[in-house]
Amino acid sequence: MYEPLIFKMLLLIALSLGILLIAIFPLIGKVHKGFATVSLVGGLSVILLLLFIIFGHPVLREAIFIYGLSF
């Protein structure tokens, strides 16, 4: 009953985390280049892994392509 809602919330949280890590890259870059690079790589890896998990799973991929995120 709550599985689609939980899936959407987890998707939103993970995507937000990845975008946040990428968005704070310039702010951290002014202070420390090493932490900024880790932030950028972490954000990109979160987004890429999220896309790989969602579109790599045949059942999830088919459900998203057929119903969108409103299933």
- pLDDT tens for each residue of the chain, 71 residues long: 677 778 778 888 989 999 999 999 998 889 999 999 999 999 999 999 988 888 888 887 888 788 876 65
Q: Give the burial class of 58: count Cβ atoms within 10 A of its Cβ; 0-12 exposed, 13-18 middle, 19 or more buried.
A: exposed
- Rounded distance between C-alpha atoms, residue 7 and residue 31, angstroms: 36
Query: Any idea what the Cα angle at residue 19 is, between residues 67 and 42, rounded to 5°?
Result: 115
Distance CA 57, CA 33 (A): 36
Question: What is d(CA 28, CA 36) in angstroms, rounded to the nearest whole number?
Answer: 5
Task: Tell me the whole-structure pTM to 2 decimals.
Answer: 0.73
